[in-house]
Amino acid sequence: MTNPHATIALHPSSCTSCMLCVRECPDWCISIEAHAEPDPDAPQYSNARRPAMKNVLDSFQIDFSHCLWCGICIELCPFDALFWSEKDMVSGKSRSEVVYGIDELAASLPSAKRLDGTPAPQLDEPPSGRRKKS
């Protein structure tokens, strides 16, 4: 039997490092490192005090040794970057094996679904939640 909530998948290019999931996770098991750099795609205004910035994700970790599988991070992510995935349940012999980084979390994308049941975007697909540049 497959478990639709076996693990959590991250679509890295959808994540804006907004920190909401990190701050709302009741178990403090998500941690993010990110930096800001000028956003080349943003409109440029001559009177802007500083250039429009965008956050770039450097690392994203979920420590599954603490995770409650509560799904709060998935439900609240405003950019649709986190998904439930059917991939094998997280397991490991030591704690370090169950701390997943970007690559491990993205590896769960193929069997990940949005909350409405449609398939999650794959690694080579563009961000799902952000407005398209017009």
Partner 1 sequence: MTLTTQLTGDRQQDGARWIDVAPENWHSLHAELQREGYVRLEWLASVHEGDDNFQIVTRVTDVDVQSPVMVSMHCDSSEPVTLSDLFPIAQFHEQEARQLLGVQFAGLADGVAFDAPIAGHPLRRDFALQARLDKPWPGAVEPDAQARRRLTLPPGVLAEWQL
Nearest by Cα to 105 from 72, 74, 70, 78: 74
User: In this structure, are residues 74 and 83 in contact, taking their beta carbons and an 8 Å threshold?
Assistant: yes
* Separation between Cα atoms, residue 100 and residue 62, nearest integer Å: 5
Q: Which does 122 bind (CB under 5 to 8 A by kind): partner 1, ligand SF4, none?
A: none
**Min CB(64)–partner 1 separation in Å:** 15
**Which residues would be at the binding site for partner 1 (CB under 8 A)?**
17, 19, 22-24, 28, 30-36, 50, 53, 55-56
From partner 1, ligand SF4, none, interface partner of 35 (C-beta below 5 to 8 A by class): partner 1
**Contacts (CB under 6 A) with ligand SF4, residues 40-99:** 62, 67-73, 77, 79, 81-82
d(CA 45, CA 58): 28
